[in-house]
Structures are given as C-alpha cells and as structure tokens.
Amino acid sequence: MSVTAANTRADHAEGVRRLLSSYRDLPPTEAVRLAKPTSNLFRSRRKTGAKGLDTSGLTNVIAVDPEERTADVAGMCTYEDLVAATLPHGLAPLVVPQLKTITLGGAVTGLGIESSSFRNGLPHESVLDMDILTGTGEVVTASPGEHTDLYRAFPNSYGTLGYAVRLRIELEAVAPFVALRHVRFHSLSDLVGTMARIIETGTLDGVRIHYLDGVVFSADESYLCVGTQTSTPGPVSDYTGQQIFYRSLHHDEGVSEDRLTIADYLWRWDTDWFWCSEAFGVQNPRIRRLWPRRYRRSSFYWTLMKHEQRLHIGDRIEKLHGRPPRERVVQDIEVPIERTAQFLHWFLATVPIQPIWLCPLRLRDNEAWPLYPLQPRRTYVNVGFWSTVPVGSTDGQTNRQIERKVAELSGHKSLYSDSFYSREDFDQLYGGETYRAAKGRYDPDSRLLDLYAKAVQRR
C-alpha cells in the first residue's frame, strides 16, 4: 500500500470516528440526519433545527486500484471528485450521474442514471460492498454475501435505513474522447424503435455504442444522442462557455456529429443543469458573457432555486401579472420501452413542459431490487422533465396525474421530488413489506425517518 493510500485510509477512519461521535452526542429521542452543504433533492422539507451528523471526513476517494478496476470511496464523495480521481487511470464508474455534486452514497441510496445505463444498469449494481451506519449507531458491512437484506434494500431507501460511509465499486476502462451522433426523428415511435434496436445489438450502423440518451422537443422533433468512445485525437467542442449542449442537437434532417473529451461528455448536462439555467437568464448570450464561468454549474443553480422556493419569487411575479401561482413538476419516471411512445404522446398532450430527457436502462442483475422493483432483463426508459405548470384545482394536480399514468403503464417514479401516493399504493410500488423488515432490523427505534414520511408526507 502506498503512503498516500495509507494516509487516505487513516483520514477516512478518523472521519468515521467523528461521525460516530456526533451520533452518540445526539439525544436518544432526536431524529438522526446528515449535515450536508448540498442536496439534489427537490422535496419540500420541514425545518427541524436538529443538528446533523458530522460528515466532514467522509468526502474523499480513499483508493483507486487500476489493476482490479475498483475504487474505495467515502459515502459523501461527489462524482466530480470521484471522476477526477479515476480518469487519470483511464477508468470511470460504470454509471456517472449527470450532476457534479451528486454523491456516490446519494446515488446508491437514491437512484442515479445516465447514458451508460442501457448497458451498465444503475449505480447500486456496481457496488461490491459498503459500510453503512445504521439507525442503531452501528457500522455494518453490506454485500451480496453479508447483511444481504440491507445490501438489497438500501437502494431507494433515501437514508432511512442508514448512511453509506464507504463503498467499493467497480470501474470500467474509458477512452479519452467520445464521438457523438445526434440522430433526428420526426416520429416518437421511430425514435423508440431505433433505441430498442441499439440496446439489443449494442451498435448503430455497425458501430459500437457506449452511451445512449435522447431529447424530445416536440412530437415531431426528437433526437437520440449516441456516443462511442475513441482514442483518436481531433478537435472537440466546449459547452462550458458560450455554447449550450442541448441547443447543439437541433438540425433539420438525418445525423449531426460532435466530439467531446470524456470528462466534458460526462458533465455535458451540468453546465446548464440540462436546460434549467434558462430560468435564470443564463442562456441569454449577453447575460452568459457576464455570468462567471465558475457559477455555470448545477450546484449554483440549485442554490438559486432554494432561495426561490423560500421566498416564492416566481409566484409573486405571476401574481403581479394576474396569473395563478405555479406547481413544481420536477420528476424522473421509468416506463417499459414498449410503452414509452404512449407515455410521451400523453405527456406532450397533457403537461406543457418541453424539452424532455430520455435515458434507457436495463438492470445488470438478474434479481429485482425490492424497493424499486424494475423487472430484470426488461428495458425501461427514464423520462425526465423539470419545470413548473399553472396550479390546478387540487394540490399537486399535475404530479398526481403523472403518478397515475406511470402506474397505469407499469412504470415507477423516482422519489427525489414531490410525491402524493397513498400509503397503500406506496407500499405496493416501493417494496413496503421488505422495507419494514429491514427497518425493524437496522433501525428498530426509528432514529431515522420512515421512507413514506420522508418521500410523501414531508411537504
């Protein structure tokens, strides 16, 4: 072991010690939560005033093993820092979520996804083992052969069964560049059909595909973005400056081509938080030139969004113009690929939000993960939409419509944002019986929040 690796492991051990010490300092009746400077959750949460656990020593990459293609990573390490540690070795996590400040622990206890998910599944599937601080104040190691019930129930538990303090994950080799083809479609059915063929064959026109996602601007303008890793040097685009990635997709017919470094490809959506930076005027060329580059990133836009939610600036502006307040519709859902075109046509006819992001996925594992029970060997498509709509006559009217439609199409919805399910429906959709068994074993005194209370009731 190198001196550097020995030092990072010692630092991590000290971080775990501080975490446990802060846990013991909490009164026995006080709910446990993490002290986190950032979040990628969009649920409205009550302020508790409670002191969070000390995670300051749990933010680093502990070690990268280039020969085994694995990494030991602290739970609060961001993907930005993780990728910065692995790329010099020509390696990357099997799935790198789109936003730089998503943490590895957050992507595993929640659900992460990206354009490699059609071949690599979801981030928790590449976890070899992990150390989890449970509600009892004990750190246990969970893996396919040890504390297996916790290992399999942890994904989609959102910190209600414990917090990952260390994770050992698989890595894959990556080339230094990504060659992109943006394929234009005038029919959503044609887009979905081509997507299905790429997933089944792993190729497009005989070329191997490493990355696959898409964007829908309207029923007659949509694109698949297919990426192939390459070591061939050449000019690359830069979407961290004046150019905006999603706008580069637009063209009239056929296929357009592009090239990015692997790092810029992984973070292509972060600069503008997909297309959400438009809400802050950042896509106006004059404002963009004045906006400091260090603030063109999702974490800063999220900070602005928190202020907007607290002060209700948007609703005040709507009121000044004589318009009703707006309902936040910030969601990611999955539906089976054969029902994706049906969902998209319904959504475009019902919800006035565009563009829409598409990201196909298939589980790597032959077993379902009980708290988010996608079927093994079945292809799903993640559909992401993030904006607001005028409020309806009932609380969360549009979000409730989406929940009903997704359930009707045998799909699922991620729980990082507002949810409105009844307890019965929630238990049926999110492994209620399995969850309660794991909760009873690893958090018997309910020091951590209940998942339903956290995902649905805390609005």
Sequence spans of domains, the chain: 3-174+445-457, 177-268
Contact 418, 43 (CB under 8 A): yes
Q: Looking at residue 1, what is its pLDDT? A: 45
pLDDT of 57 > 60? The answer is: yes
- Cβ atoms within 10 A of the Cβ of 295, count? 14
Q: Looking at residue 128, what is its pLDDT? A: 98
Q: Looking at residue 302, what is its pLDDT? A: 87
pLDDT of 259 > 70? The answer is: yes
> What is the C-alpha to C-alpha distance for residues 319 and 303, in angstroms, rounded to an integer?
23
For residue 313, what pLDDT band results from cuts at 50, 70 and 90? low
Cis preceding-peptide flag for 355 (omega within 30 of 0): yes
> What is the C-alpha to C-alpha distance for residues 15 and 32, in angstroms, rounded to an integer?
17
pLDDT digits 0-9 by tens, 67-101: 999 999 999 999 999 999 999 999 999 999 999 99
Share of the chain above pLDDT 90, in %: 83
Contact 213, 357 (CB under 8 A): yes
Mean pLDDT, range 45-66, rounded to an integer? 81
pLDDT of 42 > 70? The answer is: no
Mean pLDDT, range 165-175, rounded to an integer? 98
Q: Looking at residue 38, what is its pLDDT? A: 59
Average pLDDT, the chain: 92
CATH number of the 3-174+445-457 domain: 3.30.465.10
Q: Among 24-33, 192-201, 208-217, 286-295, where is mean pLDDT lowest?
A: 24-33
Q: Looking at residue 317, what is its pLDDT? A: 66
> What is the C-alpha to C-alpha distance for residues 439 and 135, in angstroms, rounded to an integer?
9
The residue behind tokens 């044609």 is 190
Q: Looking at residue 3, what is its pLDDT? A: 45
Name the pTM for this structure. 0.93
pLDDT of 307 > 90? The answer is: no
pLDDT of 440 > 90? The answer is: yes
